[in-house]
Amino acid sequence: MKTCNIPRLLVAGTHSGCGKTTVFCALAAGFKQRGKKVVAYKSGPDYIDPMFHERVLTTPSRNLDLFLFGRRQLGKQRASYLFTRHSRGAQLALCEGAMGYFDGVAATAEAGAFAVSEALSFPTVLVVDGTHASLSLGAVIRGFSQLDTAGCLKGFIVNKCKPSVYSYFKETWEHMSGVKALGFLPAIPECVLAERHLGLLTAGEVQDLQKKIAVLQNTAQQTMDWQALEEIAHNTLPVYAEDLRMPPLSSVRLAIAKDRAFCFYYADNLQLLQDLGAELYFFSPLTDTQLPPCDGIYLGGGYPELYAKELAANYPLKTALHTAIQQGTPCFAECGGFLYLLTAWHTGNNVYTWSNVLSGTATLQSHPVRFGYSLLKMCHANVWGEQGTIWPMHEFHYSDSTNNGKDCLAEKVGKSRQWRCQHATETLFAGYAHFHFWGNPQGAMKFIRTCARYRQQKEEL
């Protein structure tokens, strides 16, 4: 049994869009400037916010998702292990909550930011929008505090608040809510993070991001109660975790698509593959003309639709990918990676041909399609599991295709809705769903073993 006593804070919000990521980056940069070695986490399934964490701290940010990890006690057990493992050697753990503090699976708090705070003993700081702040803000904070039955909520930070408003109402807000005020950020137009249909732009797309971070950090040094933040971070309980590290199975080479079009990867997915013996070789479907020598392929999600023309024009790479998969190279493709395996992408009057591993086309819709958490059940044995295997999944996309697969059955949690999905064969697992490999570590082991068999077959030729 491992024990983790690291000081920690979870930055939660009243709702999506209140400024959690901005405040988180200001705090992370501020603590780093003060000499702290900070490790970052994100509750929930989001890929984009951890990219900003990584830009601030220059170290990977990890997801803590109590649903994708396996739900309930199993999810908590795996989250405790990963938190304990990755916090080792750090002086402070900061976690950014997803959506609103109590927003979880379906109409419950399951797996939301509050559930992570409770499971891993995170003292929580609530970010509230101060754009039109007045006396009633204290009532909002009090409501969140009263619903926090675990007593995790320890303070609040007001975002986009005028200094004069904060100083005038600070003590009144504290008295009304019974929660300590920990500082504020004024509205800083030059630090606004732009958005599009899936949320914030990725960190790599934001112009002058380091300059924005510097402005946030310098501002926060003057407006936050750093002593109180540190005291709250230290007032927590230890996390106990079993050592769940997976032993290496076989040495295999995995080709990982990673560039502007394909950039959605959980750090712990890649880490688990490495733990099992994989060597990772990254390539760009946008600019490379051939695959690296490999025994397996991983095509992550991202924004291939924004680069449809460039992907279509890279004939050598899409041909190499098509040939490799047709020859039996094991492949895992999720969401954007799955789209790239289709025949073409349609947009307006344009048709962009892609790798044509799977017949079918895709196009952008005007609304999210099958958004949220679901449970996937495998209808037959495949490269990632046995018949009947249940794997928690998440979907977040605005496109849809004419061939989403039918080898698995997805069921929406909290709703009586099911649909067939996924292409699942002895060597291919592809579809719109996103997965965390710690929700199905046995599947990751099966994938690596399949890659090892493929390598052996090549060597015997």
> Does the annotation mark 335 as catalytic?
yes
Which residue carries 């005028």 as its tokens? Answer: 162
CB 256 within 8 A of CB 230: no
Residue 376 tokens, joined: 């996937």
Q: Tell me the C-alpha to C-alpha distance, in Å, between residue 140 and each of 23, 151, 301, 309.
A: 19, 16, 37, 47
Using CA atoms, how far apart are residues 203 and 209, in angstroms rounded to an integer? 7
Q: Give start and end residues of each alpha helix (H) in 314-357.
A: 315-326, 336-340
Distance between CA atoms of residues 422 and 400, nearest Å: 13
CA pair distance 103, 120, nearest whole angstrom: 17
Nearest-10 Cα torsion for 397, 48, 207, 259 = -80
Catalytic residue among 95, 152, 335, 451: 335
Check if the beta carbon of residue 303 is closer than 8 Å to that of residue 338: no
**Residue 208 · residue 214 · CB < 8 Å:** no
Question: Are the C-beta atoms of residues 395 and 301 closer than 8 Å to each other?
Answer: no
Q: How large is the C-alpha radius of gyration of the chain?
A: 23
> What's the DSSP call for residue 401?
E
- Between helix 137-147 and helix 163-177 the angle, nearest 10°, is 40
Cα dist from 188 to 13, 162, 212, 256, 392, whole Å: 19, 10, 9, 38, 39
Report whether 411 contacts 435 (CB < 8 A).
no
Q: What angle do CA 319, 320, 322 make, to 5 degrees?
A: 65
* Residues identified as active-site: 335
